[in-house]
Amino acid sequence: MRMSRFTGVILLWGLTGPVCAGDGDAADEDPWSGEVAVGYIASSGNTDSTSGTARVLIGYVTGDWEHEAEAKVFGASEDEETTAENYQAWGKSLKNLTERSYAFGRLEWKKNRFSGYPEQTFETVGYGRRVLDDERFQLNFEVGAGWTQQDKLIAEDPDVIEDEDSGLFTLGGDFTWTISETSSFEQLLLVNSSSDNTYWESITRLKANVIGGVALAIGYTIQGNSDVEAGTKKADKFTSISLEYSF
């Protein structure tokens, strides 16, 4: 299955990132940063439903190199029946070329039990540009290419899966608006397009500090695939309310 391939590329990212980063001078500031987020919603009455989400983000910066890795999960159930089960993990390293431009490599694995593509892996490299970068606004654009391995659901009961391995073209962008000292708005867009399927993802987040490093965040995520079998929805949508701790 794809998990073994994903494990291999994440190990490769973990080994090569810090080695490549060693050419920078030691910084006075702590090079490590991160976020931990958890959220849970439950309702009862005519319908009993629950949903939960968890996310861990780790960052490391040294010299001209920046590294990030994130893992997150979202699940939901209604009347004791699972209605959503989504896992995602990725690692990214970038090398600053100038103050505004950088080169990057990204590895990503997704598993969505109820998607037309239950499992997907993307490996990409490319070029990024910081269009805006000041105290209030940050806007980045990325373009690149790579390879993808995708499991397409052809039929259910029993599941019939078709492997789709091919090259891909990727476009991405992220925007951050620091509204005030205690609140911010974030928008991320990602498109991975191959000859078999185009995957897209949109993440919208509004965050407000509660106390210290703790914040309340409201998020809305859309994940979609262009080429799914009849009867399968092209997009999945997740709404989350969570507490986040930044360090």
On whether residue 94 sits in a domain, the answer given is yes
114, 104 in Cβ contact below 8 A? no
Phi-psi region of 157 (alpha: psi -120 to 50; beta: other; left: phi over 0): left
Decide if 46 is inside a domain: yes
For residue 27, being part of any structural domain is answered with no
The reported pTM is 0.85
Domain carrying residue 50: 2-20+34-246
Q: Is residue 175 part of a domain?
A: yes
Residue 120's nearest CA partner among 18, 194, 12, 57 is 194
What CATH code is carried by the domain that includes residue 224?
2.40.160.40
Torsion 230-234-239-245 (CA) sign: positive
Cβ(35)–Cβ(217) below 8 Å? no
Distance of CA 165 to the CA centre of its chain: 21
Residue 103 maps to a domain: yes
Number of domains in the chain: 1
Residue 101 domain-assigned (yes or no): yes
Task: Confirm if 38 and 54 have CB atoms less than 8 A apart.
Answer: yes
SS3 64: coil
Cis ω before 158 (30° cut-off from 0): yes
What string of pLDDT tens digits covers the 247 residues of the chain?
Answer: 444 454 454 444 444 444 444 444 444 678 999 999 999 978 777 778 899 999 999 999 999 999 999 999 999 999 889 999 999 999 999 999 999 999 999 999 999 988 999 999 999 999 999 999 999 999 999 999 999 999 999 988 778 999 999 999 999 999 999 999 999 999 999 999 999 999 999 999 999 999 999 999 999 999 999 999 988 889 999 889 999 999 9
Alpha carbon separation from 92 to 51, 69, 70 (Å, rounded): 28, 6, 9
Quote the pLDDT of residue 45: 72
Q: What is the distance in angstroms between the CA of the first residue and the CA of the last residue of the chain?
A: 35
Q: How many CB atoms lie within 10 A of CB 163?
A: 10
Q: How far apart are CA 147 and CA 134, in angstroms?
A: 34
The conformation of residue 118, written as its DSSP 8-state character, comes to S
What values do phi and psi take at 22, rounded to 5? Answer: -70, -10
Neighbours of 242 (CB within 10 A): 21
For residue 12, being part of any structural domain is answered with yes
Residue 28 lies in a domain: no
Distance in angstroms (rounded) separating the CA atoms of residues 173 and 177: 14
